[in-house]
Structure 1
């Protein structure tokens, strides 16, 4: 069977080859009727547009390199899915790289991107202990967009979460429900996300005439067992605490165990002294299958992916565009736990 060409499409549609090309590239001022007619003929004839060849002729690329270091980081995974979905809507394809370190394997990843002819790079940062980019990422000559849960060093196009706002929102919500003794559970001392959230937590407490106490925000390894122990110890030392901010989904699960170990339950009623209200900072399926379902501040991961894709496309179309930072605020999703 003869391969259908763009010339065949043009003849069948009764238009020029250049018109079909413009329709395929979504360029030029073509009427809706002509666009519909061309697409109808494409479907009828089974024409397949060779994007790679077209890009080669035009010296352009529809490939975007996406670097994801940590596949266990739920925020980055959700961002990745959103980035891919949004770029595909705009006619771009994603070339995924997962370097195991910031040295040789990252260098090979960037070299592979260059060999594949990617137009730009989106870097999903998952390091919570520093606010600087790997040297090889900083030196990347391609258009670069970074997605992070932290405020990063200046000089890069950045999409980031506002951790201080998230903690402030959660704390105001709990105070509004009558809680006057609130703790923060999870995250290690070096965790910059924890540090940023504690700034928001302390600020709201101060605004409401409440005192922040270091012992009410114990740092610990971010695993369920360590959090369970920290929660039990905190509640044993201070049985007036009626609400906890949970650093991560694992911290939520650990808090449940620790709360039960001291004979208390989870719930939003501040007047029932045996109840402890819980608020998290990320929506996770396994957490929301629990009973009660958890109140949380959304991670804005899907929006982060959309913003990163949009920022990359703007940068490709306008190379002279100044460096931008997009800061995303979380929204409170009130459920049964607080």
Structure 2
């Protein structure tokens, strides 16, 4: 069967080859009627536009390399989905790489991107203990946008979550509801997200004339069992606590268990001393299937993805664009737990 060419499409539509080319590249001033004729001809003939070949001829690419190292992180997965959706709207496709946590694997990933001819790279940072990027990413010669869950000390195009703002917002909400003894559960000591949230937590307490106590914010491993033990021990040592900020979804689930183990319940009534209010830092649909539903500060994952996609496209269109740093604030969603 003969392969349908752009010449065949032009003949079928009754237009010039250059007009068909302009329609395919979405360039020039072509009337809607002409565009419809060309598209109808392509449909009738079964013409398939070879984007890769066209990109090669014009020395352009509609491929964006996306690096995601941690598929277990719900925030990164949501950001990835938002990035892909937004880029596809703009005519771009995503080439996904998942290098392991070693230099050789990352090097192979970046080489693969180069071989596939990607136009730019979006890097979803997963190491929450380092404020800097891997050297290979920092030296990437392609247009680069970094997405980070924590504030980073890097001079690059960056989209970040504002963990200080999120914790400050959550703490002020609890204080306004009458809580005067508030704790923070979870996150390992060297976790930057934890450190930044504790800064926001502490500042909200100080602004309200309250005292921050180190022992009210125990660190623990990122699993439900560790968070359950930390919660139980904290509540046993300080039975005046009426509210907890939960570092992660696992910490939230662990907190529930720890609260029940000491004979207390979950709720927002500060005057019922057996109740403990809980606030998380991202929507946890698997937890909210139960009662009570949980109050949380949104992670802004979808907006993060949109901003990252928009920034890489702007960088491709304007190579001299100054370095952009976008910090996204979370919104508090009040439900039954606080």
Query: Could you give the per-residue CA deviations for residues 123-148 of structure 1, whole angstroms, max 9, x where no partner exists?
Result: 11011101110011111111111000
Give unmatched runs, 5+ long, in structure 2.
Answer: none
Distance 2:102 2:34 in 1: 50
* Shift >3 Å, 4+ stretches: none
Contact preservation (8 Å) 1:259, 1:265: yes
Q: Which residue of 2 aligns with 1:210?
A: 210
Q: Which residue of 1 aligns with 2:249?
A: 249
Distance 1:284 1:47 in 2: 45
Q: Which residue of 2 aligns with 1:26?
A: 26
Q: Which residue of 1 aligns with 2:64?
A: 64
Distance 1:36 1:107 in 2: 45
Q: Which residue of 2 aligns with 1:268?
A: 268
Contact preservation (8 Å) 2:168, 2:200: yes
Query: Could you give the per-residue CA deviations for residues 135-176 of structure 1, whole angstroms, max 9, x where no partner exists?
Result: 111111111110001122232110110001111111111112
Give the secondary structure class of the aligned counterpart of 1:285.
coil
Question: Aligned pair 1:138/2:168, yes or no?
Answer: no
Q: Which residue of 2 aligns with 1:320?
A: 320
Distance 1:288 1:33 in 2: 51
Contact preservation (8 Å) 2:164, 2:198: yes
Distance 2:227 2:266 in 1: 16
1:93 Cα deviation after fit: 1.2
Give the secondary structure class of the aligned counterpart of 2:286.
helix
TM-score by length of 1: 0.97
Question: Aligned pair 1:286/2:324, yes or no?
Answer: no
- The worse-fitting range, judged by mean Cα deviation, of 285-294 and 118-127 is 285-294
- The worse-fitting range, judged by mean Cα deviation, of 237-246 and 28-37 is 28-37
Give the alignment's Cα RMSD to 1 decimal: 1.3
Query: Could you give the per-residue CA deviations for residues 251-287 of structure 1, whole angstroms, max 9, x where no partner exists?
Result: 0000000000010101111121111110000112212
Contact preservation (8 Å) 1:163, 1:196: yes
Distance 2:273 2:32 in 1: 65
Contact preservation (8 Å) 1:145, 1:158: yes
Give unmatched runs, 5+ long, in structure 1.
Answer: none
Q: Which residue of 2 aligns with 1:7?
A: 7
1:99-248 superposed matches below 5 A: 99-248=99-248
Aligned residues between the structures: 338
Give the secondary structure class of the aligned counterpart of 2:38.
helix
Query: Could you give the per-residue CA deviations for residues 15-70 of structure 1, whole angstroms, max 9, x where no partner exists?
Result: 22222222222222223333333323333332211100100110111111111111
Contact preservation (8 Å) 1:102, 1:136: no
Q: Which residue of 2 aligns with 1:46?
A: 46
Distance 1:271 1:42 in 2: 70
TM-score by length of 2: 0.97
Distance 1:7 1:66 in 2: 36
1:306 Cα deviation after fit: 0.9
